[in-house]
Amino acid sequence: MSTLTLAGWPALGRQLFPGVLASSVVAAAATFLSQHYGAPVMLFALLLGMAMNFMSADGTCTAGIEWTARQVLRIGVALLGLRITTGQIAAMGWAPVWMVVVSVALTIALGMVAAKLIGYRVFFGLLTGGAVAICGASAAMALSAALPNHAMRERATLFTVISVSALSTLAMIVYPMIVRAAGLDPVQAGIFLGATIHDVAQVVGAGYGMSPATGDAATFVKLLRVAMLLPVIAFAGLMTRARQGGGIEGKRPPLLPWFAVAFALLVAINSTGWVPTSVTQAGKDLSQWCLVTAIAAIGMKTQLKELVTVGWKPIALVVGETVFLAALVMAWIHLRGVAL
């Protein structure tokens, strides 16, 4: 590492510190309220973060909030691998894998067809359908980099990121009510949450807000969806090459996010039985703190009001994809008996 690079770290730290500190304070307040009132800490963090939304518009805090919402979240999700073993995954069977593959493919296909029918390019349907079906804003950014250059691409990407983030936040609150009303057991509930909520953070928040078993199942199924980034981005690249007759411009995103790889490695390590209990507990505690802090940051940066300026057709498309995915997964669970 060069001297210049090392010299840049203090400046970067000063830039990020205010936003990270603000997110941490909200997370601490949420933890305090959860411990004293018994409500889910993730929900407190989300609601308190949304109440402090004005801080994301403050230039002093913006960079740190963005960094916390992305990087601290990824660290927390990676450390969740210490909660799960390959024995638990094997016991779940192949049914969730097939469910994820089918639901992702059908949701993206629906998005592409529906986008064409309402007057948009099929690439917009691929972008929104991929974001809904895979992992929300992260998938939207990854797919956007693989799609053809277009005058409206940046606006389409921004709309997709905002809409799936807003819907994912809403789903984090509403979907646990749905699974309780449907009478799903904890693992079935986790499978539903992991297969339907868009962003990783909200999946974790909804799952562990219900129970540890639900959170573990939700995290596993969600990361199966994240793994679908690889074939879907490859598909987007093939479509782009076919349309442009050449390569994709710009830097390509990684086919599989590092936090999904780290999660899988920690699951494998934890499954050996060699990791001391004190280490796994410390990892779980650190993971919990990272996730609560990231949820607070996501609440602070959620901009619901920006959705009203884009017209009803794009919103209807994303909402329709979301409802379709939820209905498809619920039907699969009931008809095929997906469970541990």
Res 153 pLDDT > 80: no
**What was the pLDDT predicted at 125?**
92
What's at 277, amino acid-wise? T
**What was the pLDDT predicted at 309?**
65
Q: Which residue has the tokens 């409500």?
A: 39
Q: Which residue has the higher pLDDT, 33 or 91?
A: 33
Average pLDDT over residues 26-38: 88
Please say whether the beta carbons of 208 and 141 come within 8 A.
no
Res 304 pLDDT > 50: yes
Please say whether the beta carbons of 163 and 155 come within 8 A.
no
Residues whose CB falls within 8 Å of the CB of residue 106, separated by 6 or more in sequence, listed in order: 324, 328
Res 119 pLDDT > 60: yes
The DSSP-derived string for 63-81 is HHHHHIIIIIHHHHHHHGG
Q: How far apart are CA 197 and CA 222, in angstroms?
A: 8
**What was the pLDDT predicted at 254?**
54
Q: How far apart are CA 138 and CA 105, in angstroms?
A: 18
The pLDDT tens digits of the residues spanning 177-189 come to 999 999 899 989 9
Q: How many CB atoms lie within 10 A of CB 224?
A: 20
**What was the pLDDT predicted at 339?**
46
Q: Which residue has the higher pLDDT, 43 or 273?
A: 273
Query: In the structure, what pLDDT confidence band is assigned to residue 28 with cuts at 50, 70 and 90?
Result: very high
Q: Is 253 exposed, middle or buried (0-12, 13-18, 19+ CB in 10 A)?
A: middle
What's at 50, amino acid-wise? M
> Distance between alpha carbon 74 and the CA centroid of its chain, in Å?
10
The share of the chain scoring above pLDDT 70, in percent, equals 84
- Reduce the DSSP state of residue 272 to 3 states and report it: coil
Q: How far apart are CA 267 and CA 81, in angstroms?
A: 5
Residues whose CB falls within 8 Å of the CB of residue 120, separated by 6 or more in sequence, listed in order: 313, 314, 317
Q: How far apart are CA 261 and CA 10, in angstroms?
A: 29
Residues whose CB falls within 8 Å of the CB of residue 91, separated by 6 or more in sequence, listed in order: 340
Query: In the structure, what pLDDT confidence band is assigned to residue 196 with cuts at 50, 70 and 90?
Result: very high
Average pLDDT over residues 274-298: 87
Please say whether the beta carbons of 215 and 191 come within 8 A.
no
Please say whether the beta carbons of 108 and 129 come within 8 A.
yes
What is the b/e burial string over 287-314, where b = at least 16 CB atoms within 10 angstroms of the residue's CB?
Answer: bbbbbbbbbbbbbbbbeeeebeeeeeeb
Tokens of 174: 């509403």
The share of the chain scoring above pLDDT 90, in percent, equals 24
**What was the pLDDT predicted at 264?**
81
Tokens of 61: 């805090």
**What was the pLDDT predicted at 8?**
57
Q: How far apart are CA 289 and CA 28, in angstroms?
A: 9
Q: What is the mean pLDDT of the chain?
A: 82
Can you list the alpha helix ranges (DSSP code H) found in the chain? 3-37, 41-51, 59-67, 73-79, 86-92, 95-117, 122-130, 137-146, 153-181, 186-196, 200-210, 212-227, 229-244, 258-271, 277-301, 312-336
Please say whether the beta carbons of 40 and 209 come within 8 A.
yes
